[in-house]
Structure 1
Amino acid sequence: MQSNAYGAPLAGGAFDFVSFLKKPQTILRCLSWLFAIVVFATITAEGYVNSHMEPEATCMFNHRDSACGYGVGIGVLAFLVCVGFLVLDAYFPQISNAKERKYIIVGDLVFSGVWTFLWFICFCVLANQWSWTNDPAVPGDAARAVVAFSFFSILTWGLLSYFAYERYRQGLSDLDRQYTDPAVDPPYPPTPYTTGSSGPAGYQQSPFSQNQENPGEYQPPTY
């Protein structure tokens, strides 16, 4: 039933690197990958500063180390997820099993939706903490870049969720088109005879037609 779903009949053929790079999904993954690098690399390189109030280096976002840790964690995980799904996207046209294709598409949909939500939280946390930051030692350009690219990541991952949902819905539509009701058995043919008051047509009278109630006079055997 699922052999033709999720584009399984289109599997095979040579890998076209140029066409792969031109796909909107590939472009969005590369942008998400790049944005993730900007976020966690900027926080790692410039996100911890020495304040005149505190001798140790603290997070540039209102000295909240948890905010910087969250940004680095989400960025690194997004980087790894993007690399993994780029590899799956390149390998996807060679997969002929519909179930495997479905698992990849569902996984893409789930991860993209979750990371859209996580990036939204990251943007809200960093933007809020940055609004309360008044330390002159904090590199403002770096902090604003982290907040901006967190917001851009929401857009790219949201679009990836949309494309994954469209692929999933297309697979369900393929299944619906393939489904057909089982064949209904034809009605039983009419009987070759009709029932009447005297029995079925063509019924032959029993050879023993003598009336059994009046068997006649008894004849004893001759010895």
Structure 2
Amino acid sequence: MHSGAYGASLAGGAFDFWSFLKQPQTILRFLSWVFSIVVFGTITSKGYTNTTRVEPNNHCMFNDNDHACSFSVAIGVLGFLACVAFLVLDAHFPNISNATDRKRIVTGDLAFSSVWAFLWFICFCVLANQWSKTDSSTVLADAARAIITFSFFSTITWALLFYFAYRRYREGVSEFNQDYTDPAHDRTTPYPHSSSQYGNSDAPTGYQQSPFSNNQGNTGDYQPPAY
């Protein structure tokens, strides 16, 4: 795809669905979307258990640390919603003609991807640390390992999304200048001199000699008619 502004062609072209699906950003967002579903879906369905059957409330499977489960669910849900929002923006991105709006979208993608890659890494470290302190059954172990594994995969996908967003930000505007000024309204540009087009450099542009100038200089040679 020919680059026009921030990694996308200039506005006005038809939307190519298959080319959109083949884009690295689209694939990574879809994978991040799936990984988020696995993390918060598994924790919601299997992450809270009650092995003692004495207390009425369930506890987080990761060393009974409810904060670990709540943090992971929050990161997964917000990441899921962000993937959907950025997929819609990516699909609409080539139809945006304003370079400033494109820059805002790319900057938002850059900031969000960097923050979420960091949060997923924190989530992975917390879950791995809490699970190493947990003594549970094999069924819980399979679910916990899946959550930890996909948290690590989410860190990788969001880091790659940050890389592609940064590359689009560096590309910026390649085919037109946002600071373009119409020469007709640019008062800092001097008018070109056109003295080379005329023999007299002191004469103003477009000056023409009066057809009566020669007669004004020869008034002394006037002869009245003889009757």
Tell me the TM-score range normalised by the shorter chain: 0.7 to 0.9
Aligned runs of 1:1-223 on 2, under 5 Å?
5-6=5-6, 10-52=10-52, 55=55, 56-136=57-137, 139-171=140-172
Give the superposition deviation at 1:16: 1.1
* Cα 1:141–1:98 shift into 2, 3 Å: same
Q: TM-score, normalised by structure 2?
A: 0.73
Unaligned runs of 5+ in 2: 182-187, 196-200, 203-227
Q: Contact 2:9 / 2:94 at 8 angstroms: preserved in 1?
A: no
Q: Contact 2:7 / 2:168 at 8 angstroms: preserved in 1?
A: no
3-state DSSP class of the match of 2:6? helix
The two structures, once aligned, show a CA RMSD in angstroms of: 2.7
In the alignment, the residues of structure 2 paired with residue 54 and residue 148 of structure 1 have an alpha-carbon distance, to the nearest angstrom, of 32
Q: TM-score, normalised by structure 1?
A: 0.75
Please tell me the residue identity of whatever aligns with 1:21. Answer: L
Q: Contact 1:112 / 1:160 at 8 angstroms: preserved in 2?
A: yes
Please tell me the residue identity of whatever aligns with 1:6. Answer: Y
Q: Contact 1:43 / 1:146 at 8 angstroms: preserved in 2?
A: yes
In the alignment, the residues of structure 2 paired with residue 150 and residue 79 of structure 1 have an alpha-carbon distance, to the nearest angstrom, of 13
In the TM superposition, what whole-angstrom CA distance separates every residue of 1:25-79 from its partner, at most 9, and x where no partner exists? 0000000000000000000000011122853311000000000000000000000
Q: Contact 2:43 / 2:69 at 8 angstroms: preserved in 1?
A: yes
In the alignment, the residues of structure 1 paired with residue 105 and residue 169 of structure 2 have an alpha-carbon distance, to the nearest angstrom, of 10
In the alignment, the residues of structure 1 paired with residue 175 and residue 110 of structure 2 have an alpha-carbon distance, to the nearest angstrom, of 18
Aligned residues: 186
Unaligned runs of 5+ in 1: 193-223
In the TM superposition, what whole-angstrom CA distance separates every residue of 1:133-153 from its partner, at most 9, and x where no partner exists? 013386100000000000000
In the TM superposition, what whole-angstrom CA distance separates every residue of 1:1-27 from its partner, at most 9, and x where no partner exists? xxx743676212221111110001000
3-state DSSP class of the match of 1:129? helix
Structure showing greater Rg: 1
Q: Percent identity?
A: 63
Give the superposition deviation at 1:186: 8.1
In the alignment, the residues of structure 1 paired with residue 176 and residue 124 of structure 2 have an alpha-carbon distance, to the nearest angstrom, of 39
Deviates more, 1:134-143 or 1:90-99: 134-143
